[in-house]
């Protein structure tokens, strides 16, 4: 490992250690916290669906924000260790049909990467297109959503589709995302 890389990992270790000491299951917690602080997309009392939720750090953050008046459901291919007050489901986003409607849908879905860029980028787009279909049917009018996607030429298909569903679409790279990572978040509000 070169010295530049070493320095980079050192800087970002702070989120790993912070997650450990603050009881979050993954450093991703700080990505969602930053997005919520900047865009106010989750509020007390909200009903939230989180897809690609394992091991559950987004769920922990979401539960803190919505409080006891709200409700959070997490779905993943993998089993999620129980979190008090949070409902979890084992399922595949491509055939998951939730019941009812939500105020917010968050996705941190990531495909199993092959190392072949255009395949990984396409897989990331397809996961997000499947989540967007869930948003169309299961988000309340005016609803909000967050999607993680690999930054690429292929992502344009998804951004264009998201713009047809939401009034506002912002791209954001939270500080807790490693600078070497191509992942970014698409923050959407005003579902039509």
Asked if residue 50 lies in contact with residue 85, where contact means CB atoms within 8 angstroms, the answer is: no
Rounded Cα gap, residues 190 and 192, in angstroms: 6
| Residue in 19, 42, 49, 53 binding ligand SAM, rule: CB under 6 A | 53
Q: Which of 14, 148, 156, 163 is catalytic?
A: 148
191: which residues sit within 8 A by CB, 6+ positions away? Answer: 135, 139, 140, 141, 142, 143, 144, 145, 165, 166, 167
Min dist. Cβ of residue 54 to ligand SAM (A):
4
- What does the DSSP 8-state code read for residue 121? H
Contact call for residue 56 and ligand SAM (CB under 6 A): yes
Task: Name the residue among 92, 90, 88, 32 with its Cα closest to residue 57.
Answer: 32
Rounded Cα gap, residues 190 and 169, in angstroms: 9
Q: Give the interface segment with ligand SAM, choosing from 13-21, 48-56, 81-89, 162-170 (CB under 6 A).
A: 48-56
Interface characters, 77-116, with ligand SAM (x: CB under 6 A) = xx-------------xxx-------------xxx------
Min dist. Cβ of residue 63 to ligand SAM (A):
12
Task: Name the residue among 124, 180, 192 with its Cα closest to residue 156.
Answer: 124
Min dist. Cβ of residue 180 to ligand SAM (A):
16
| Residue in 41, 57, 103, 132 binding ligand SAM, rule: CB under 6 A | 57
148 counts as catalytic: yes
Catalytic positions: 148
């Amino acid at each position: 490992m070169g010295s530049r890389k070493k320095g980079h990992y050192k800087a970002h270790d702070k989120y790993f250690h912070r997650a450990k000491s603050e009881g979050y299951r993954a450093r991703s917690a700080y990505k969602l916290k930053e997005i919520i602080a900047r865009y106010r997309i989750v509020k007390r009392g909200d009903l939230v669906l989180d897809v690609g939720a394992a091991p559950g750090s987004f769920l922990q953050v979401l539960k803190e924000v919505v409080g006891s008046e709200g409700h959070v459901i997490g779905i993943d291919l993998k089993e999620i260790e129980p979190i008090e007050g949070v409902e979890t489901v084992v399922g595949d986003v491509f055939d998951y049909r939730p019941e009812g409607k939500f105020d917010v849908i968050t996705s941190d879905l990531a495909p199993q990467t092959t190392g072949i860029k255009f395949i990984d980028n396409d897989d990331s787009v397809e996961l997000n297109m499947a989540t967007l279909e869930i948003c169309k049917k299961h988000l309340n009018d005016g609803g909000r959503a967050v999607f993680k996607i690999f930054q690429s030429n292929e992502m344009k298909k998804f951004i264009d589709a998201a713009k047809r569903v939401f009034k506002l679409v912002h791209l954001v790279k939270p500080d807790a995302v490693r600078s070497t990572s191509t992942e970014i978040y698409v923050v959407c509000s005003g579902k039509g």
